[in-house]
A and B are shown apart, each in its own frame.
Chain A
Amino acid sequence: MSAQPKPRVGLFVTCLVDAIRPQIGFAALELLEKAGCEVEVPQVQTCCGQPALNSGNDRNAALLARQTIAAFEGYDYVVLPSGSCAATMVHGYPELLADDPDWTGRARAMAAKTHEITSFLHDVLGYVPQGVRLEASATYHDSCSGLRDLGVAEQPRALLSHVEGLNMRGLPGNDVCCGFGGAFCVKYPDISNAIVTEKAEAIEGTGADILLAGDLGCLMNMAGKLHRRGARTRCFHTIEVLAGRAGGPAIGEEAS
């Protein structure tokens, strides 16, 4: 046993992972524990509030921000398997609560210890995956919020470089939005479709077996488009591969 106590991590799984793909949440749990954390999943969590924030409904966004801060501020770290939800906590909460004297300090304090999971594993914990094997070619899409709001770019690639047998292929336009944009994709479906069509073409063009990304929203958008187009690309969250779970069903595949 090391003398240092294990860091206590509050895992916010995100509403999409909770409902659509719990495997990602379990992959997060597993990786964080492997990396030496004591992980808890506070039951008060629902959604980070981003749908309200991006709709201009600050009142509800602030209510959810307070609820989430109250549930998570006691941990050493708050970790999320999503760049956009993490960015909401890191940038959105302090902005939403800037004029609330009771909460502005708490929002900033929590923002300072909130991390997207691949950057947390790589930058904070110095985690190096070991003994993970996947014989496949894969390409990686940089989800926008993680990339631009949190600087998530090298971390997932560095972690993936330790997966034996995994052949990473560059994706042309890897840093161009996939057209998801939260409610955007259903408010302006025609525009979103035009964008994701180009993204799907680029992904198919790489010939990679697997598409990886760090946000389930973007992944659902791209996976859904790829499937509609009849492409065979299998889609996973980055951490599913890192946790050695890419042998199981991909997004849209059901366990037989």
Chain B
Amino acid sequence: MGLADIKTFENLQKDVISVNRCCACGACIAYCENQAFNVIEMDNYTPKFKSDKSVENCKECGYCYYICPQTEPLLDRLKEAHLVKDELGNIIDIFAAKTTNAKIQEVGQDGGIVSTILTYLFDTNNIDAAIVSEYDDNFKPIPKIIYSKDELAKSAGTRYSISSNILPLKDLTQVAEEIISHKKRIYDSDQLRIAFVGTPCQCRAISKMKLLHIKPAHVISVIIGLFCFENFDYNKLIEILKSKTQINPSNIKKTNIKKNFFVTSKEDTVKEVSIKDLDEAVRNHCHECDEFVGRFSDLSIGASGAPTGYSMILTRNEKGHSLIDSLLATGYIERYIIPADQISEWQPKKINWLKKMTSLKVKK
């Protein structure tokens, strides 16, 4: 029995889950399981009560509802805290860059920036772990916590269906034990530092949790947001791809979008699928999303607007900005050199471009 007037999981089901607005980020479950309340779980990208008994056992604390990226109540305070005044959010600097690391260039998407940032953070011992997304053998994105840069290779590149990146935090205590046993420096699990990489909706959830200073998000030391136009439901996407390309999910080597959807098989056959054909597979919540660049993060990274081989980087606060500065200073990444005649209009042009992309997404 909770205090009066607090919305609970049942409200969440009514307002978000049952009306297909859930983005399957995993935040509600990560929080609740971390508290060992043992009442909700993720079932095929849908959060639900574990059993009928669970409904009674629910503590009605309300966190699942309020940290859900799709609910209203905390949004105003969140915007205040992140200095969000428009659709692009607070921007300290905007520029394009690419990695200088050859190995990452090979496997990375576009500029390979995210992988490089994580490499740098591991190299300088600024993080103990990172939450990334890997593909399993059936091309299904699986969120994972990695503990060293050696594990980065499998997580490079874009994921083209939902990866519930917040979900691994539900087992934070086990994660913590593993790290602490190797790092004498850490005397308190609160000292863990984990980097988070996620889509705008996921970053929004993490940011809401950090606004409230609640676990398990207290160990997230840097939030790296990705640009996101839309995301697909795994099962539906695979069905459509199989029927259009005849490539089995276990045989997919690489996918990417450039106007249309391209699938490369392990035998290096490339098949093209029209974006319109994939409309059915788009997750419903994406239709209502108003975030393209992801405003509630320390920095946002994506391909849109960047020259080929580079990624766009938006730094949003002191933390994100000084992090990127360090990467530039140490040569982990290099800036895109704007041609002399384009310098003055380059940034405004890019900002307008991103705003256009955002409005396109909203109009959908």
Is chain B found bound to chain A in the same assembly? no
